[in-house]
Structure 1
């Protein structure tokens, strides 16, 4: 649901909007995840897929999500960036109910995570989709879900500090970063959107509809 066509070249910039829900909503979503035999990440992935379908993106929704990339136990004690990306093709056809959609997303995720050690760049080479300099291949929407760290980890004598992330360049058209816990004890989502593709009023509408979908999932 873009407002403007994608520029032929050049980096895309990002803007940020946030929305939050209280502890009661989070508890209901966590209960839903337990009922469906899955995780909070899968629940919010299903919610984003439902949202995109409502916005006119169709019923075959590709979502990207990062994985730790530490399948090999020999990597457990190593410090480094091993993160990989998996792509989930979520099927929202047939107007599924909340639990049915979460279950579909769970099954899709299990299949994708079984191959999580396949490097994303190799997958792209094998599938060879049409490439553009400012278009992420295979998916344009990224979904993450983490837990707020109340205390930073200790690494022996080394000091640890949290540093702000430079969000100036858009990696994806839409990026939904969910975080549970934090000062409110609830759930938060930071939506990063590509400013060249979406008007600010459209991004605000996306956030408002996300709020509605999350509350429907928590009902």
Structure 2
């Protein structure tokens, strides 16, 4: 079986840290009302048969990595009894890629029944997890009704993608991609924060995260500001992150890692697999730059980058960094909850559970589950909906203390609030502390 470059990179990362859950991709939903466990188990098995990557295993033989796809489906739904804390444990349980890459677990608690779908990144990505949930709900409805699932027809396989990628990299397109990214990365170091703890050579990342919720009025203001600037909300928020990094590091030129989808052909729209790639977002910040200027630059670079996103990050890194050093130590990603199916609202401020919807006859609510922390030194995952905006700061606790990550999140929230209210404020004039902190700092100078 042909493997993609991304899958080979995932295998190498797994070999380096087999007990890490940094590359587990999870999606959890609360199921309200009566749930037929037997029908749900059958639906899980149907979905695993539909998507070969879910029943793939990876083994080395004679120094070569091989992927095997099982014809039979030896696993279905795993049912457990426990509180919501168990859901986090399900998401954080490492995979043995020689045995399986996917699990579906139903956790029955006192208040809710939670379905958690977890796949190793070697066989999935964030979009794929939503595709799995969509297909699973359709299959469950079909089993209950005694009908066939209403699934869209698959127009390609993941192996089709892997073979097309290999062909592209060896041709003119591959050369064009390499040259584009050489120019983007030229003379630009990775954005990097001074860690609290010394970096350990070969140390396994210890992922942790904290969530920051912004008020509804800030979410609405950010959307409106992005519209007035003719940029995407993602670009406005990326510009805010760049502004904060500029202020904290003093560097005006740097790179940030940005995951993007490589589902560039319609045929791959419904394919489950590793169809994501980390590109880089470059910042070049002048001393008199404003948040609006950074947002416009980020919007342009993100759009250009997405037109060249199909160069695998492992190839990009080898192309640009002859010494093998990292291109990115800080990551940034955006999830727009308005475009996913099922259209599950994300968790509101102060809650771990989103608003309930009824979809295909099931009452569903999204459950916020910490995941995929430790891939970068520090990463920001922004999630926005029509009226919601929050972001999760993910960090390696072997480098940063929780208080540092929380402070970074609070500072980013302050920048977002300021930019949403007045995008033409100069980056050099952004306030990163509140009035109370200013008073405490001034008191230190007077000995109070």
User: Which residue pairs with 2:328 in the alignment?
Assistant: 139
User: 208, 217, 225: which one pairs with 1:24?
Assistant: 217
User: Which residue pairs with 1:59 in the alignment?
Assistant: 252
Give ranges in structure 2 of 5+ residues lacking alignment: 1-193, 338-342, 345-356, 361-365, 422-448
Larger RCO (CA under 8 A, 6+ residues apart): 1
More helix by share: 2
Cα separation, 1, equivalents of 2:358 and 2:196:
40
User: 167, 190, 202: which one pairs with 2:392?
Assistant: 190
Q: Deviations over 1:104-137 (max 9, x none)?
A: 11122222222111111111121134336xxxx2
User: Which residue pairs with 1:157 in the alignment?
Assistant: none
Cα separation, 2, equivalents of 1:22 and 1:100:
25
User: Which residue pairs with 2:378 in the alignment?
Assistant: 174
> What secondary structure does 1:71 align onto?
coil
**1:90 and 1:108 in contact (8 A); partners too:** no
User: Which residue pairs with 1:85 in the alignment?
Assistant: 278
After superposition, the Cα gap between the structure-2 partners of 1:25 and 1:166, relative to the gap in structure 1 and judged at 3 Å, is closer
User: Which residue pairs with 1:158 in the alignment?
Assistant: none
User: 228, 235, 238: which one pairs with 1:42?
Assistant: 235
User: Which residue pairs with 2:296 in the alignment?
Assistant: 103
Cα separation, 2, equivalents of 1:164 and 1:30:
25
Cα separation, 2, equivalents of 1:147 and 1:180:
5
Answering whether residue 417 of structure 2 is matched by residue 215 of structure 1, we say yes
1:164: Cα distance to partner? 4.3
1:29: Cα distance to partner? 1.0
**1:43 and 1:102 in contact (8 A); partners too:** yes
Tell me the C-alpha RMSD between the 2 structures: 2.4
User: Which residue pairs with 1:117 in the alignment?
Assistant: 310
1:165: Cα distance to partner? 5.5
User: Which residue pairs with 2:19 in the alignment?
Assistant: none
Cα separation, 2, equivalents of 1:211 and 1:39:
18
Answering whether residue 202 of structure 2 is matched by residue 9 of structure 1, we say yes
Give ranges in structure 1 of 5+ residues lacking alignment: 155-160
1:21: Cα distance to partner? 1.0
1:163: Cα distance to partner? 9.2
1:218: Cα distance to partner? 1.1
User: 399, 406, 409: which one pairs with 1:204?
Assistant: 406
**2:244 and 2:411 in contact (8 A); partners too:** yes
Cα separation, 2, equivalents of 1:73 and 1:51:
37
Cα separation, 2, equivalents of 1:114 and 1:198:
34
Cα separation, 2, equivalents of 1:122 and 1:152:
44
1:180: Cα distance to partner? 1.4
User: 261, 269, 275: which one pairs with 1:68?
Assistant: 261
> What secondary structure does 2:324 align onto?
coil
Cα separation, 1, equivalents of 2:333 and 2:358:
20
**TM-score, with length taken from structure 1:** 0.84
After superposition, the Cα gap between the structure-2 partners of 1:115 and 1:152, relative to the gap in structure 1 and judged at 3 Å, is farther
Cα separation, 2, equivalents of 1:24 and 1:102:
20
Count of equivalent residues: 206
> What secondary structure does 2:301 align onto?
helix
